[in-house]
C-alpha cells in the first residue's frame, strides 16, 4: 500500500474543523471530547489525540488522518464486524440503564481500576454486567495499565469466576504483563491478557510479542498511524487482534470498522460501539451497532455524512480553536 503524500500545512489548516462534543457519561476522565475533522480529497478524516499526549504521539494520529483523507485504504475482506458494549466505571446500580441503551449485548468491555474506586467496586460492576447480559455473554475488563503486577493478580483472581474473555492492559509495562501472565498460569487463573497501551503508545510495539507478554493485542487506527500501519503491526506481532476506538466520532469509528474489515482473521468482537458514549456527534445518524454488528456499508456512509450544522454547533471558542491549530502545526512538522 503506497504511503500518501503529506499535504502541506496550509492545506491541512484550511481543511480543519475543530469540534467539542458533550459526553453522556464521564469516560477516561473526559466529559467533553474535542476533535479535528479534516476534509481531504479522499473523504473525511479525524484527528483527535488526547490533549495530554505529546506532539510525537499526535503526529502518528495525524498520519492516520492523512491516510484516510489523502491516501488509499487497504481493501476489506468482510462486510460486517461484531461490536462489544462499553461499560464505563459506573456504580453497579447504573449498569442496567446504560446497557438498555446499547444494541450490542453479546460482548461487553468493563472499565476497572478507576482512580478513587476500589476492587470491590470493580467486582460489583462486573457482577452486574454478568447478571444483566446473562451467562453466555463475553465480558472483558480494561484497567488501562493502572494496576501493579500484584494488584492485577489479586484483582483477576477475584474477577475470574465471573468468566472473563480477557483482561486488557492490566499493568502498565510490557515486563509486568509478561510476569503477570506467568503468575496467572502458576495460580491456575484462566484469564488471557491483552495489550493495548503497550502497543499503541510504545516506540516498539513488537516487544509485546517478543517478550510473550500478551495473548492478544488491542489496536486502534489513529495511534498506530493508520489502517495500513496497524495491519502491518498485527501481522508482525502474530497475535489475534481486537480493533478498538479511541473515543472517536463516527468518522473515526468508520475507519476502525475499515481496519477490522481488512483483518485476515477476526476472532473477537471489536470495541467500536463508543458513539453511544457521546451525547452529540458530527453526523446526523451516529455509527452505532445494530444487532451487535456494524456493517462496512454503514461505516462508509457515516464517514461521508458529516453534518455542516453539527460542525458549526459544536465549534469551541477561539482559544481552543487556536490551541488545536497550533498543535496541528507542530504535529505536521513531525510527519
DSSP readout, 249-267?
Answer: -HHHHHHHHHHHHH-S---
Q: Is 111 a catalytic residue?
A: yes
Could you tell me if residue 34 is left (phi over 0), alpha (psi between -120 and 50 degrees) or otherwise beta? beta
Burial of 120 (0-12, 13-18, 19+ CB in 10 A): exposed
How far apart, in whole angstroms, are the C-alpha atoms of residue 292 and residue 83? 6
Sheet holding 216-219, edge to edge: 85-87, 107-111, 138-142, 164-168, 193-195, 216-219, 241-243
Q: What are phi and psi of 230, to 5 degrees?
A: -65, -45
From 111, 181, 298, 303, active-site residue = 111
For residues 282 and 32, the answer to whether their CB atoms sit within 8 Å is: no
d(CA 145, CA 296): 31
Q: Which of 109, 200, 220, 258 is labelled catalytic?
A: 220
Q: Which residues are catalytic?
A: 111, 220
Amino acid at each position: 500500500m503506497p504511503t500518501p503524500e503529506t499535504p502541506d500545512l496550509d492545506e491541512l489548516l484550511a481543511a480543519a474543523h475543530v469540534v467539542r462534543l458533550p459526553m453522556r457519561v464521564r469516560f477516561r476522565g473526559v466529559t467533553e471530547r474535542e476533535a479535528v475533522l479534516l476534509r481531504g480529497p479522499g473523504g473525511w478524516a479525524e484527528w483527535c489525540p488526547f490533549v495530554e499526549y505529546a506532539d510525537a504521539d499526535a503526529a502518528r494520529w495525524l498520519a492516520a488522518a492523512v491516510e484516510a483523507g489523502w491516501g488509499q485504504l487497504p481493501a476489506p475482506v468482510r462486510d460486517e464486524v461484531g461490536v462489544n458494549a462499553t461499560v464505563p466505571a459506573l456504580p453497579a446500580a447504573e449498569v442496567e440503564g446504560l446497557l438498555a441503551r446499547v444494541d450490542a449485548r453479546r460482548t461487553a468491555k468493563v472499565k476497572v481500576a478507576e482512580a478513587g474506586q476500589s476492587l470491590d467496586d470493580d467486582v460489583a460492576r462486573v457482577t452486574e454486567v454478568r447478571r444483566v447480559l446473562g451467562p453466555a455473554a463475553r465480558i472483558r475488563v480494561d484497567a488501562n495499565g493502572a494496576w501493579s503486577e500484584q494488584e492485577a493478580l489479586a484483582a483477576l483472581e477475584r474477577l475470574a469466576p465471573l468468566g472473563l474473555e480477557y483482561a486488557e492492559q492490566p499493568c502498565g509495562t510490557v515486563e509486568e504483563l509478561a510476569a503477570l501472565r506467568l503468575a496467572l498460569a502458576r495460580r491456575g487463573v484462566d484469564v488471557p491478557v491483552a495489550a493495548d497501551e503497550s502497543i499503541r503508545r510504545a516506540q516498539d510495539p513488537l516487544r509485546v510479542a517478543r517478550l510473550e507478554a500478551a495473548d492478544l493485542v488491542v489496536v486502534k487506527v489513529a495511534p498506530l498511524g493508520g489502517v495500513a500501519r496497524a495491519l502491518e503491526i498485527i501481522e508482525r506481532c502474530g497475535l489475534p487482534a481486537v480493533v478498538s476506538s479511541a473515543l472517536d466520532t463516527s468518522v473515526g469509528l468508520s475507519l476502525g470498522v475499515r481496519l477490522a474489515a481488512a483483518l485476515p482473521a477476526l476472532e473477537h468482537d471489536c470495541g467500536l460501539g463508543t458513539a453511544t458514549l457521546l451525547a452529540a456527534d458530527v453526523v446526523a445518524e451516529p455509527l452505532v451497532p445494530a444487532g451487535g454488528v456494524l456493517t462496512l456499508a454503514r461505516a462508509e456512509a457515516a464517514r461521508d455524512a458529516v453534518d455542516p450544522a453539527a460542525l458549526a454547533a459544536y465549534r469551541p471558542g477561539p482559544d481552543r480553536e487556536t490551541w488545536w491549530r497550533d498543535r496541528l502545526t507542530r504535529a505536521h512538522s513531525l510527519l
